[in-house]
Structure 1
Amino acid sequence: MFVIREATAADREAVEELTRARALWMADRGVRGARGWERFAEESGRQAADPDMPVWVVVTDTGRVIGRTTLGEQTPVWGWTEDEQAQPAYFLNTTVTHPEFAGRRAGSLLAWWAVDRAAATGREWVRRAVGPDPGLLRYYCDIQGWRIIHRTERYGEDAYMLGRAAEPLPDLARHLLTTT
């Protein structure tokens, strides 16, 4: 079982390390975006340490940080209509997991946790965006249950705005414990 909790200043180095590990894993496999994650590693740690940033971490039973995500309370302006921006929703972004835990579904657990949390806190939706990576888009839709709401252009490339209706996921508690 994993635990999800709000990130603290004590998580800074671990979040930087897991972000760098993901970047290296991506680079070794020729996955697009590896350099961006490497450049983001230090900022990822800073965000985790900032009490004003809504960063959450997934940790093992030994306390090792193996994933991080940001759960914003506002839908971004780009890619979404004014009506969508007005709906109560979370926006999930900068989710990264440690490659040593591949196959353990830490990223999916983070996404499902957001859907469950949205339902518990009175939100209607969880939203996220993904760039032109067809494999990641398929994974989000086929495995995690997202659906494409809009396709738009961002920085000269296709971007997909994804959504999932908030709903309680009671089976999640078998895999993930939330603490605050």
Structure 2
Amino acid sequence: MLRMLPADRVEHQDGVKAMVAARAEWLGQRGLSAPDGIAETLAGQVGEPGWPVWVLERDGVVAGCTTVLTECPSWAFTEAERAEPSLFLASTWTQPAEGARLGHVIARWALDHAARTGRLHVRRGAFQERLARYYCQVQGWTLLREVQRRDRTGYIMSRRAQRQPDLPVRG
């Protein structure tokens, strides 16, 4: 069973750290990179004010996480875009699970959660072109723009919030 819930327990902190470390190792084995110390950084955000981390649990084990912000960053979105009620997904990570599409499950949950809470959009960004292309071509996100941020290209995306009646997630 899949459940999406706020990360507010010590077990979530340990689960996020282990899951992100496993994903970072998986990425490295494929010649892709993850930021140094990312597992510790994300685990450290669990339960911190201002960093609303949510976890995707599969049978009680952390299988993914994302940070769900109610404000979009000013460096990525226009003033008009930031004025629209939206959620912003930051730092979405999932355990390596061939064919499970856990990231897609988290994105669909976010679209449903946004619609249920009166938001119009779900926004997100990526710093890897391949990931942004996947989000747009496979998951249906719209690329709004590319921006330069800390010597990297950021790919800024959006989707309209909408209910997901066949969502395989509880919570």
TM-score w.r.t. the length of structure 2 is 0.94
Task: Please point out which of 75, 78, 88 is paired with 2:75.
Answer: 78
Would the aligned equivalents of 1:128 and 1:161 in 2 still touch at CA under 8 Å? Answer: yes
Shift of 1:52: 5.0
Task: Please point out which of 51, 54, 68 is paired with 2:52.
Answer: 54
TM-score w.r.t. the length of structure 1 is 0.89
Q: What is the SS of the residue equivalent to 1:66?
A: strand
Would the aligned equivalents of 1:8 and 1:51 in 2 still touch at CA under 8 Å? Answer: no
Task: Please point out which of 155, 158, 164 is paired with 2:150.
Answer: 155
> Deviating runs (4+, > 4 A) in structure 1?
none
Shift of 1:134: 2.8
Letter in 1 for 2:3: V
* Structure 1 equivalent of residue 37 of structure 2: 39
Q: What is the SS of the residue equivalent to 1:171?
A: coil
Whole-angstrom distance in 1 between the partners of 2:49 and 2:126: 26
Whole-angstrom distance in 1 between the partners of 2:98 and 2:93: 11
Shift of 1:146: 0.5
Q: What is the SS of the residue equivalent to 1:160?
A: strand
Aligned residues: CA RMSD: 1.3
Of Structure 1 and Structure 2, the greater helix share is in: 1
Give matches, 1:160-179, under 5 Å: 160-172=155-167, 175-178=168-171
Q: What is the SS of the residue equivalent to 2:40?
A: helix
Whole-angstrom distance in 1 between the partners of 2:75 and 2:142: 18
Q: Does 1:145 align with 2:140?
A: yes
Task: Please point out which of 121, 124, 128 is paired with 1:125.
Answer: 121
The total of aligned residue pairs comes to 170
Q: Does 1:95 align with 2:95?
A: no
Q: What is the SS of the residue equivalent to 1:96?
A: strand
In structure 1, runs of 5+ residues without a counterpart are: none
Shift of 1:176: 0.9
